[in-house]
């Protein structure tokens, strides 16, 4: 099976978007835990409709960066702006409102294990979007389950699902509220190569369907190749390289080449 | 040495501060819109109904054993007829609520601590938070209110079963009609026995729910922390139960008996 490489022409919806509209802008981001300086000086922008892959070894602060974007962690310094708003200065209600526009797929999918798949999917609809109409809930659940290719899974418990299926349902739960930005935290970690490829292709498919802008944290090169429009490489709390996947692949820098 | 002591105190103060913040979040979220009624009812079922058998069994044995232990002493004083009264006062005022609360601390606080701890470790609480939902309202408010609501009911049921256990123990050696036994028990009690005992069980329930939720919510990453959260929830909530009991007894004594 040959991997679907993201060298396609930009689809119609992307050219219709406001070009160069920046949805996430990070400047001089710093974050330490105790004496360990995890993020030293991170500068990053995400444009609307773009898929940005952040590559780097484990423990380099990739996940910390996206946790700062959704306000789970408060930066020690620098600025994180999402849709032009400084995240650290938002009130609790404003942060909650912002989070409804951002989807976050956790490494382990983080499904609520005391609930069925249907209840997992309905949770953000009833609690965040306050949808109470049963028909509307059913329609949305069916639509998103079809989109991730698991229409029969609605009544299963998370413990009955395989790793790949859990990731798909996690993705479905995130996409069901139709976020504008998707943050993926190592979406293919712990999966076999075939399932990893399926998840990477699903990310691409979902981006087309839901017209999201995405940051994908990974150290899976195939995932990066399939999903990326742009790649940044992170090392010791700093970004060391940026470009398209093919550009970086042909780089003369030994450190960058070591990833490929 | 001095640094170690200082670190210990700093940790204790930080924990006290965290608990105050957590308590404030709990109270603030009770009065926010969108109370999770279905989750509250589910928790009442999980906490109340599923603990009922255990509470009944331990209360029955406690009532039975108390009579068996008291009888020889009471007989030697020629005060056998006081046995139902003695049992009723000790069970309703003190032993019933405290034993029920300790049983529930072992069963419920550990289960809440482990459940929320495991949700924390597997990032389920973070997932709720970043989706824009309110994990405190869904997980914490419902559990603390359910324990505060169910503990008095469990304690009342436990008291009744303990009195039945006492009646059976009494009938092993003596013959006493059930009506006379109940009449003697109820006759020994008044408002000052029922109400403080009932009110303190609400606080016991609150302590069990609060400590369980706090320990689970603040567990560290890693599977080991789930066990630590469960264990710590039992120990801390048991200590709180005895502390609250001591306070309530002092206040009751000041109000009614001084």
Mean pLDDT confidence for A40-63: 88
Does some domain include residue B11? Answer: no
- Residue A45 to residues A24, A50, A215, B75, Cα–Cα distance (Å): 5, 10, 10, 86
pLDDT at res. B233: 95
In a 3-state reduction of DSSP, which class is residue A31? strand
Residue B119 lies in a domain: yes
Question: Is residue B211 assigned to a domain?
Answer: yes
Chain B's closest residue to A123, CA to CA, is B133
Report which secondary-structure segment, H or E, holds A12. Answer: helix A12-16
Report yes or no on B88 lying in a domain. yes
Q: How many CB atoms lie within 10 A of CB B53?
A: 9
Average pLDDT over residues B147-168: 96
DSSP A9: P
SS (H, E, C) chain B: CHHHHHHHHHHHHHHHHHHHHHHHHHHHHHCCCCCCHHHHHHHHHHHHHHHHHHHHHHHHHHHHHHHHHHHHHHHHCCCHHHHHHHHHHHHHHHHHHHHHHHHHHHHHHHHHHHHHHHHHHCCHHHHHHHCCCCHHHHHHHHHHHHHHHHHHHHHHHHHHHHHHHHHHHHHHHCCCCHHHHHHHHHHCCCHHHHHHHHHHHHHHHHHHHHHHHHHHHCCCCCCHHHHHHHHHHHHHHHHHHHHHHHHHHHHHHHHHHC
Q: Which pLDDT belongs to residue A1?
A: 37
Looking at the complex, report in whole angstroms how far the Cα of residue A44 sits from the nearest Cα belonging to chain B. Answer: 21
Cβ–Cβ under 8 Å, residues A125 and A173: no
In this predicted model, what pLDDT tens digit does every residue of B236-251 receive, in sequence order?
Answer: 999 999 999 999 999 9
The structure's pTM equals 0.87
Q: Which residues 6+ apart lie within 8 Å of B50 measured at CB?
A: none
Measured distance CA(B53)–CA(B234) in Å, rounded: 20
Mean pLDDT (chain A) is: 87
What's the confidence (pLDDT) of residue B212? 96
Average pLDDT, integer, range B42-50: 94
Of A72, A113, A128, the CB nearest to B133: A128
Please give the mean pLDDT across all residues of chain B. Answer: 92
Query: Which of B34, B35, B111, B127 should we substitute to test contact with A (largest number of A Cβ atoms within 10 Å)?
Result: B127
Span B222-241, average pLDDT: 93
Hey, are the CB atoms on A72 and B126 less than 8 Å from each other? yes
Domain carrying residue B203: 36-257
pLDDT, tens only, A159-185: 999 988 999 999 999 999 999 999 999
Residue B256 has pLDDT above 90, yes or no: no
* Domains contained in chain B, number: 1
In angstroms, what CA-CA distances link B254 with A260, B90, B191, B197, B248?
78, 19, 15, 15, 10
Q: Among candidates A124, A120, A218, which has minimal Cα distance to A168? A: A120
DSSP A159: G
**Residues of B with CB below 8 A from A112's CB?**
119, 124, 127-128
pLDDT of B25 reads 92
Question: Scanning every residue of chain A, which has its alpha carbon at the shortest distance from the alpha carbon of B137?
Answer: A127
Q: What is the mean pLDDT of residues B151-159?
A: 96
Nearest CA in chain B to A72: B130
Give residue ranges of B with CB < 8 Å to any A CB: 34, 115, 119, 122-124, 126-134, 138
> Hey, what domains does chain A have and what are their CATH numbers?
22-34+48-257 (3.40.50.300)
Question: Does the residue B30 lie in any domain?
Answer: no
Coil, strand or helix at A170: helix
Has residue B251 been placed in a domain? yes
Model confidence at A92, in pLDDT bands (50, 70, 90)?
confident
The secondary structure element, H or E, covering residue A160 is: none
- In this structure, is residue B247 part of a structural domain? yes
Complex confidence, ipTM: 0.84
CB contact (8 A) between residue A110 and residue B122: yes
In a domain, B18, yes or no: no
Cβ within 8 Å, pair A102-B130: yes
Contact at CB, A110 and B124, closer than 8 angstroms: yes
């Amino acid at each position: 099976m040959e991997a679907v490489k993201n060298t396609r022409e930009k689809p119609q919806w992307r050219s219709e978007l406001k070009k160069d509209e920046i949805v996430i802008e990070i400047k001089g981001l710093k974050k330490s835990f105790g004496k360990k300086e995890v993020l030293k000086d991170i500068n990053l922008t995400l444009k609307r409709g773009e898929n940005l892959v952040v590559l780097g070894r484990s423990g380099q602060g990739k996940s910390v960066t996206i946790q700062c974007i959704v306000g789970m962690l408060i930066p020690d310094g620098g600025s994180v702006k999402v849709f032009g708003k400084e995240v650290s200065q938002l009130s609790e209600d404003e942060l909650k409102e912002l989070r409804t526009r951002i989807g976050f797929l956790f490494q382990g999918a983080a499904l609520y294990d005391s609930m069925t798949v249907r209840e997992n999917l309905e949770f953000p609809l009833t609690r965040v979007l306050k949808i109470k109409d049963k028909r509307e809930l059913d329609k949305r659940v069916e639509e998103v389950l079809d989109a991730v290719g698991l229409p029969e899974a609605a009544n299963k418990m998370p413990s009955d699902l395989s790793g790949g299926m859990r990731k798909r349902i996690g993705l479905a739960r995130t996409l069901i509220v139709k976020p504008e930005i998707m943050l993926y935290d190592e979406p293919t970690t712990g999966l076999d190569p075939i399932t990893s490829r399926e998840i990477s292709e699903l990310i691409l498919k979902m981006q087309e369907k839901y017209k999201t802008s995405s940051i994908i944290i990974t150290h899976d090169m195939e995932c990066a190749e399939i999903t990326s429009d742009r790649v940044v490489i992170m090392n010791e709390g700093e970004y060391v390289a940026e470009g398209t996947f093919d550009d970086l692949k042909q780089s003369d820098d030994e450190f960058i080449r070591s990833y490929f | 040495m001095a640094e170690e002591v200082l670190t210990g105190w700093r940790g204790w103060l930080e924990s006290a501060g965290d608990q105050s913040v957590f308590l404030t979040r709990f109270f603030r979220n009770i009065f926010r819109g969108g109370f999770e009624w279905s989750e509250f009812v589910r928790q009442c079922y999980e906490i109340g109904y599923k603990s009922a058998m255990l509470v009944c069994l331990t209360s029955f044995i406690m009532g039975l054993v108390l009579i068996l232990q008291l009888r020889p002493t009471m007989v030697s004083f020629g005060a056998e007829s006081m046995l139902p009264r003695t049992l009723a006062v000790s069970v309703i005022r003190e032993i019933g609520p405290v034993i029920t609360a300790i049983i529930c601390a072992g069963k419920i606080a550990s289960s809440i601590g482990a459940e929320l701890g495991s949700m924390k470790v597997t990032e389920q609480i973070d997932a709720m938070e970043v989706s824009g939902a309110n994990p405190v309202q869904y997980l914490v408010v419902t559990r603390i209110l359910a324990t505060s609501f169910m503990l008095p009911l469990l304690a009342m049921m436990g008291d009744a079963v303990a009195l039945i256990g006492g009646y059976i123990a009494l009938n092993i050696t003596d013959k006493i009609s059930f009506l006379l036994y109940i009449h003697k028990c109820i006759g020994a009690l008044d408002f000052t026995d029922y109400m403080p005992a009932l009110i303190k069980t609400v606080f016991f329930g609150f302590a069990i729910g609060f400590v369980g939720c706090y320990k689970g919510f603040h567990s560290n990453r890693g599977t080991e922390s789930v066990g630590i959260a469960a264990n710590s929830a039992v120990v801390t909530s048991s200590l709180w139960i005895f502390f609250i009991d001591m306070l309530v007894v002092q206040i009751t004594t000041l109000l009614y008996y001084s």
